[in-house]
Structure 1
Amino acid sequence: MSGSQLEKNMNAAERPGIGDTPDDEFNRFSARRKTLMVVVLAWTGLLSPMASTSVLSAIPNVAEAYSVSGSVIGLSNALYLVFMALSPCFWGPWCQTLGRRLSYLSSVTTFLGCSIGTALSPNIAAFMVFRMATAFAGTAVLIIGPVTIRDLYHPLERATAIGWFYTGTLFGQCVGPLLAGAIVTYTTWRVIFWLQTALAAVSLFGIFFFLPETLSETAPRPLKGLTRTGKIKVLITMTNPWRVITPFQYPSLLVTAFASGSLVWNQYALFTPIRYVLNPRFNLSSPLQSGLLFLAPGIGYIVGSFGGGRWADHVARRSFQRRGNVFVAGDRLYAAVPFMVLLIPACMLIYGWSVERAFGGLALPVIFMFLQGVAQLFCFPSLNTYCLDVMPERSAELIAGNFFIRYIFGAVASATAIPAAESIGVGWYSTVSAVLVAAGGVGIWGAARWGGKKLT
């Protein structure tokens, strides 16, 4: 992108209406209809994150079934996250080319089929392949969902809707291990994936009947009027991974992606070793008991959803008024700074060292898992909405690139969490997570302070 074009984009992002989008584009659907669509998106958004963590409560059971070690199953979860990272490179451009609705329907149908394949997997190789395919398909809604919300809501309102959407995605990460813990306590671990199949079927029903196409009628239609060969060439060009990577030449976008990645690292560093760390520490004997521990951050996510998006919109409106009714996308990044620099690192340090040094009883780590869950919902809406606002015509690609970075972080955390907890201890590993999140917070403060008006 040329410098002049970038400056044009950034100037557009400073107006109350994003880019050249007229206000009536945000009034195509009633408020009630938009709320229903966000509910469908939030439900669909919980599928892939839930699938990424549900196996955590069942790692020993799956390992025993396939005669492998727990670390191998942990590696399979890391591969799941790698494919979650790769998936946005394709779904981001596809939803701009094929439309939102077709992308949703095809991805959820594939997710459903691969969930069945995982439930029926006869060996560890098949289990891993179907898990990776599930990740590739299921991540689509995490990319297209925020872009759909951008289609529906005015800039100074959309962070609230983003917050509700992320309630589904983040709560899914917590409810997955709880449901899986109950399942493996009373029946076979394969039922986890049959449940996953059923939830995907409900999502497919909701998308088919309640989620129309939201891509603006004025948006470019790259495939319109082309021959089949021409359409294939355009699709190949649009799915070039470099399209979602090149925006990170701008430090503001790069540090925002790093900040998002540090939060996802923190999640998987916390969740992955729970059964290996907390069960022995507190003499918990069943997967269901350890699964209940995931409720703490999950309830935190729900509580945070009531205020996180609103807080990000409040910060944006306050800056909008202070600047004389000029909208600057980077201003909303300030909403996440205190939570990333102070609250989440403090929660992780207290959690990790209370477990490591065996002080405070069970209540202490539960309380701080809850608090960091609340804090994360005060961070993600501002970070993701910034990606939607700062370069409007490439919002799908920016969200896709952001997810690419964050799930690379998640994959590394998932792969290293159990070995690190066993080698250096959960205290030091939590310290690493705290430092990463704090560094991300400092980075987005810098992006808001010096990169709010210009991507430099």
Structure 2
Amino acid sequence: VFVGGCFIPSIPQISKDLNATPAAVSLGVSLSVLASSVVMIWSAYSSFYGRRSIYLCGIPFTIIGSFATAVSPDLNSLLFWRFVQTFGGAGSYALGAATIGDIYKVEERGTAMGTFAGAMLIGLAMAPPIGGKLVAPAAFAEYLSWRGFQAVLGVCGMLLMLLLALFFPETAHPGSRGIDKAQDPNKPFVWINTLSCLTFLRSPNIMAVTLANTFALISDYALFMPIAYTLGAKYGVQSEGLIGALFIPSGIGNFVGTPISGRISDMMVRRGKKERKGVWVPEDRLRAVWIGQLVLVPISVTLVSLVTTYVDGTIGLVMSLHQWRWRSIHQVNMALTPMGAYTIDIMPSRSAEVMAVVSALRSLLIAPISVLFIPAVETIGVAATNTLTGLLVLIGYFLIWLTIRYGKQMRAYADVGYPNFDAQISNGD
């Protein structure tokens, strides 16, 4: 997350250095999102070899990609190595969520997912200001350009790999890994069908939650991708360091929202079990989504665009950043974290794989759409672009409502290996 976020504020400087248009350089962000779609490789092998081994296999790609990005002579080389760089860390979210599924009970899983998401979003929030500050011409350019910062990321990757090798234990339950059941566990390598988890997309529940999750995240990219040409251009923020600092209110909102989001979703689970005298319905967790995705996120996205378009000066900038902060709280608090915990709830034994296919489809959808935001802002304007993304968020909520209302029937339509919920679920919603 940090690796991806720190690239955005440096887009103007990279475009000058490589003699490319900002829209072309922004493909580096889109390709990094596309690289995340290969997360199925890491998740499938984590189910066989365990979480720890796959972490240690993925990080070297990030290290090599970071150093190679730092010395890229042209745009094509930059885009290729950005893909490699992100490919190495693509499994981090799915593996992290699977690790939570390994060690936490259902009633505690939402809070744990919220804490995990908060830690990741700290990286997302801090990456733009750090990346922007360290590549800002007025600040540290004589010491560290965007190339130098990419090299620093490579060094950080080496340190992270060392820490994981020394201190991170295997969390997969004994006997649950494929290698534990293999006839020849000493075989050096086993080929695995990494596309097998695509069968999860037959599930209407998983597909609906994935699309709703994707539409909510698209509202993020609609604001973040063209920030230098929206807030930056509107309010005269030209320095990469200051452009990066514009992300801080959103980061504060994410950091505040994530612990709350998990607790609310856990409360919904406990309340539902209490009302049904101990019967657990997985879709109860999704009831934490409705306020955020139905009301708060689309309204806040639209307000940000209207303020940016029609309110000038310092007041306009302050109002925009305030709305960014509240939008982040609402999105994380009432949308994304409960959805992530829900997918683990319904497929606990294959949590890494189901999170991987969710991440893969989400990335495949976001990657081409994210390329369109800068041209869209230049063509139809900020207000129209963000209003359209707000409508997508509303469509996502409708899918969540269907899942809450008809979750049991949807699971019966395509059984992709769910646990036996029928032994627990009553005839209620």
TM-score, length-normalised on structure 2? 0.89
Query: In the alignment, which residue of structure 2 is the partner of 1:433?
Result: 389
CA–CA separation in structure 2 for the residues paired with 1:165 and 1:417: 29
Query: In the alignment, which residue of structure 1 is the partner of 2:320?
Result: 365
Mind listing any 5+ residue stretches in structure 1 that lack a counterpart?
Answer: 1-48
- Confirm whether residue 408 of structure 1 aligns to residue 390 of structure 2: no
Whether the 8 Å CA contact 2:47–2:350 is kept in 1: the answer is no
Query: In the alignment, which residue of structure 2 is the partner of 1:350?
Result: 303
Whether the 8 Å CA contact 2:307–2:320 is kept in 1: the answer is yes
- Confirm whether residue 249 of structure 1 aligns to residue 210 of structure 2: no
More deviation in 446-455 or 312-321?
Answer: 446-455
More deviation in 92-101 or 173-182?
Answer: 173-182
The 1:161–1:97 alpha-carbon spacing in structure 2 relative to 1, beyond 3 Å, is same
Counterpart of 2:83 (choices 126, 132, 138) is 132
More deviation in 209-218 or 146-155?
Answer: 209-218
Counterpart of 2:52 (choices 85, 98, 101) is 101
**What percent identity do the matched residue pairs reach?**
27
CA–CA separation in structure 2 for the residues paired with 1:169 and 1:160: 14
- Confirm whether residue 324 of structure 1 aligns to residue 280 of structure 2: no
Where do 1:179-258 residues align within 5 Å? 179-185=130-136, 186-187=140-141, 188-222=145-179, 224-226=181-183, 234-237=190-193, 239=194, 241=195, 243-258=196-211
**Shift in Å, 1:296:** 0.9
Whether the 8 Å CA contact 1:248–1:254 is kept in 2: the answer is yes
The 1:221–1:303 alpha-carbon spacing in structure 2 relative to 1, beyond 3 Å, is same
CA–CA separation in structure 2 for the residues paired with 1:340 and 1:258: 12
Describe the SS at the equivalent of 1:79. helix
Query: In the alignment, which residue of structure 1 is the partner of 2:9?
Result: 57
CA–CA separation in structure 2 for the residues paired with 1:421 and 1:61: 20
CA–CA separation in structure 2 for the residues paired with 1:364 and 1:452: 43
Whether the 8 Å CA contact 2:27–2:79 is kept in 1: the answer is no
Describe the SS at the equivalent of 1:363. helix
Whether the 8 Å CA contact 2:44–2:192 is kept in 1: the answer is no
Where do 1:136-147 residues align within 5 Å? 136-147=87-98
Query: In the alignment, which residue of structure 2 is the partner of 1:449?
Result: 405
**Shift in Å, 1:223:** 6.9
RMSD value, Cα:
1.9
CA–CA separation in structure 2 for the residues paired with 1:174 and 1:396: 25
CA–CA separation in structure 2 for the residues paired with 1:452 and 1:50: 38
Whether the 8 Å CA contact 1:53–1:272 is kept in 2: the answer is no
Query: In the alignment, which residue of structure 1 is the partner of 2:32?
Result: 80
Mind listing any 5+ residue stretches in structure 2 that lack a counterpart?
Answer: 414-429
Partner deviation per Cα, 1:383-440 (whole Å, 9 max, x = no partner): 0111111122222221111101222233133211111110011111101111111111
Query: In the alignment, which residue of structure 1 is the partner of 2:420?
Result: none
**Shift in Å, 1:259:** 0.9
**Shift in Å, 1:292:** 0.9
- Confirm whether residue 417 of structure 1 aligns to residue 373 of structure 2: yes
Whether the 8 Å CA contact 2:200–2:206 is kept in 1: the answer is yes
More deviation in 140-149 or 262-271?
Answer: 262-271
Query: In the alignment, which residue of structure 1 is the partner of 2:120?
Result: 169
Partner deviation per Cα, 1:35-89 (whole Å, 9 max, x = no partner): xxxxxxxxxxxxxx2222211111111111111111111112211111112x222
**Shift in Å, 1:285:** 2.7
TM-score, length-normalised on structure 1? 0.84
Counterpart of 1:66 (choices 11, 18, 26) is 18
CA–CA separation in structure 2 for the residues paired with 1:321 and 1:131: 49
The 1:218–1:453 alpha-carbon spacing in structure 2 relative to 1, beyond 3 Å, is farther
Whether the 8 Å CA contact 1:301–1:374 is kept in 2: the answer is yes
Q: Give aligned pairs, total.
A: 403
Amino acid at match of 1:356: T
Whether the 8 Å CA contact 1:54–1:192 is kept in 2: the answer is no
CA–CA separation in structure 1 for the residues paired with 2:355 and 2:405: 22
CA–CA separation in structure 1 for the residues paired with 2:12 and 2:231: 15
Amino acid at match of 1:95: S
Amino acid at match of 1:193: Q
CA–CA separation in structure 2 for the residues paired with 1:410 and 1:295: 23
Describe the SS at the equivalent of 1:134. helix
